[in-house]
């Protein structure tokens, strides 16, 4: 629920019944790579042209909502070998033209066979620039009382698994929020 550019609560449906949760202080969104930008866009926060193309009224033009998706590449090689001359091992001993041919072949294989896997991030990018989706706290720009807290505020992908850094993001923000507000019970109607 966005009223006068303020997040005032959440409307959700369970067992075909609509519920409203009013927020005393703020709303925290943790919907994941595709869930968080989708909820933002349905709450009329997103790239103006994209929202308008779906007939959605725009309250906050946030151009990078849903963009900047990054993920790790995954590619599997299957080899049957009976020497140590596997790709990489023994390459230095080969003539330059053969090395190049093998390298080109390997790159072609990776381009055709790789896919992305398990670690999407970036669709609600944190940054200090105006185009970023959330600021450094991470409040959604253009709306008050609304934060995104999940893996998708990472602006660039780390070269490791993403679960532990996501927990770190959540712990850090939980500390910040508790310091600001203490513990409060939601009001569910
Ligand atoms: C198959 C798989 C294996 C993985 N293995 C590893 C691993 O071994 N190690 C590692 O470090 N990382 C791993 N990861 C990555 C890790 O799971 C993610 O980085 C992490 O879960 C991100 O947490 P998150 O809270 O940002 O998002 P998520 O865990 O995706 O949580 C988002 C939640 O929001 C919910 N949601 C979305 N939209 C709505 C909506 N409209 N209403 C209500 N709820 C909604 C979703 O159902 C989901 O429960 C793996 C990921 C996958 C997919």
The two tokens of residue 94 are 């080969």
- Residue 86 pLDDT class (50, 70, 90 cuts): low
Long-range CB pairs of 87-95, under 8 A, 24+ apart, other chains included? none
Ranges 12-16, 98-102, 185-189, most confident: 12-16
Q: Which CATH number fits domain 2-71+120-188: 3.20.20.210, 3.50.50.60, 2.60.120.10, 3.20.20.150?
A: 3.50.50.60
| 150 in contact with ligand 1, CB cutoff 6 A | yes
Q: Which residue puts its alpha carbon closest to atom 13 of ligand 1?
A: 163
Which comes out higher in pLDDT, residue 99 or 11?
11
User: Where do the H-state alpha helices sit in 24-126?
Assistant: 32-42, 48-53, 96-113
| 119 in contact with ligand 1, CB cutoff 6 A | yes
Which pLDDT tens digit goes with each residue over 16-28? 999 999 999 999 9
Q: What pLDDT shows up at residue 184? A: 66
- Residue 177 pLDDT class (50, 70, 90 cuts): confident
DSSP 8-state class, residue 177? H
The two tokens of residue 7 are 């997040």
Q: What pLDDT shows up at residue 53? A: 95
Average pLDDT for 115-119: 91
**CATH 3.50.50.60 boundaries in the chain:** 2-71+120-188
Ligand 1 center–CA 120 separation, angstroms: 9
Question: What residues have CB less than 8 Å from 125, skipping those under 6 apart?
Answer: 64, 67, 68, 132, 133, 134, 152, 153, 154, 155
Nearest ligand 1 atom, CA 161: 11
Strand partners of residue 74: 115
Q: What pLDDT shows up at residue 161? A: 96
| 165 in contact with ligand 1, CB cutoff 6 A | no
């Amino acid at each position: 629920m966005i009223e006068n550019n303020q997040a005032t609560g959440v409307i959700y449906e369970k067992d075909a019944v609509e519920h409203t949760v009013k927020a005393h202080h703020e709303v925290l969104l943790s919907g994941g790579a595709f869930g968080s930008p989708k909820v933002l866009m349905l709450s009329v926060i997103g790239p103006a042209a994209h929202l308008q193309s779906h007939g959605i009224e725009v309250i906050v033009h946030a151009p990078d909502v849903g963009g900047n998706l990054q993920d790790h590449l995954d590619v599997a090689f299957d080899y049957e070998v009976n020497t140590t001359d596997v790709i990489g091992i023994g390459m230095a001993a080969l003539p330059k033209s053969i090395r190049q041919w093998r390298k080109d072949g390997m790159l072609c294989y990776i381009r055709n066979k790789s896919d992305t896997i398990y670690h999407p991030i970036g669709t609600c990018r944190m940054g200090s620039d105006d185009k970023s989706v959330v600021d450094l706290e991470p409040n959604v720009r253009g709306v008050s009382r609304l934060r995104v807290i999940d893996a998708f505020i990472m602006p660039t992908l780390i070269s490791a698994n993403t679960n532990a850094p996501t927990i770190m993001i959540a712990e850090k923000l939980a500390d910040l929020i508790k310091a600001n507000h203490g513990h409060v019970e939601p009001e569910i109607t």
